[in-house]
Amino acid sequence: MDTILVVDDDPHIREVLRFALGKAGYTTVEASDGCEAIAKFKQVAPDLVVLDVVMPEMDGTQVCREIRQDSATPIIFLSSRDEEIDRVLGLELGGDDYVTKPFSPREVVARVGAILRRLKQPAAKTSGSASLPALQHGNLRIDSDGFKAYWGELEITLTVTEFNILSTLARRPGKVFTRDELMEGAYEDSRYVSDRTIDSHVRRIRKKFMARGGDPIETRRGVGYILTACD
């Protein structure tokens, strides 16, 4: 049973999400502020975090930064602010999704389920059958079974959404993917996200690889993105 850490300073929102997630079969752990969230995250090691952006003391963006220092656990941001800049900032920091308040509890549960299914998809496909082949392109190697990416011998920690985008590109080297095509590869529920959202994820992928001496993605201005030679 998957464990979801719900972080929000509003007890009513925590109660609503606890009920909805519990009804869907998830175990929930709650935190009312950022400091408590970090402590609970280290203590419980949840499978996913639902994280409010605006909180006293330590806000959601600071919590996300702390988590992303050594973990790729999926994060869904909650926010009463629907400005594009806030959405992009959350994704730039490493969030996997962003839900605006007021929200439908069913929508949050659906987003949680979609991300966790993506995370488990490789293992589910190979249960009782041969493993999926690793994707190798130059220095880039993607282990679909283990949900891991490497540049040479160095492992690159990616979020679920980042991994899905990179895998989509790696399956067809030489093809220029539009943002809509990458969107379809990254999100299984066919939701619409803006071009800037995809751009934010791609920037984070490139930044992580550049820190290890590589760059697997090239921008084709006015069209989309393509996998580089990865040499």
Mean pLDDT for the stretch of residues 22-36? 96
Tell me how far apart the alpha carbons of residues 129 and 136 are, in angstroms, rounded to a whole number: 21
| pLDDT (0 to 100) of residue 193 | 60
| Both structure tokens of 27 | 């175990």
- Range with top average pLDDT, 5-14, 116-125, 129-138, 187-196: 5-14
Tell me how far apart the alpha carbons of residues 82 and 34 are, in angstroms, rounded to a whole number: 21
CATH value of 3-124 in 3.40.50.300, 3.90.1150.10, 3.40.50.2300, 3.90.105.10: 3.40.50.2300
Tokens 């488990």 label which residue? Answer: 120
66 exposed, middle or buried (CB, 10 Å; 0-12, 13-18, 19+)? middle
Q: Are 131 and 147 in contact (CB under 8 A)?
A: no
Question: Quick one: fold of 131-227?
Answer: Arc Repressor Mutant, subunit A (1.10.10)
Q: Are 141 and 150 in contact (CB under 8 A)?
A: yes
Please state whether beta strands 148-151 and 27-31 pair in parallel, antiparallel, or not at all (unpaired): unpaired
Domain ranges of the chain: 3-124, 131-227
Asked whether residue 208 carries a pLDDT value surpassing 90, the answer given is yes
| pLDDT (0 to 100) of residue 200 | 85
Give the confidence band of 177 by pLDDT, cuts at 50, 70, 90.
Answer: very high
**Strand, helix or coil at 79?**
strand
Tell me how far apart the alpha carbons of residues 8 and 23 are, in angstroms, rounded to a whole number: 19
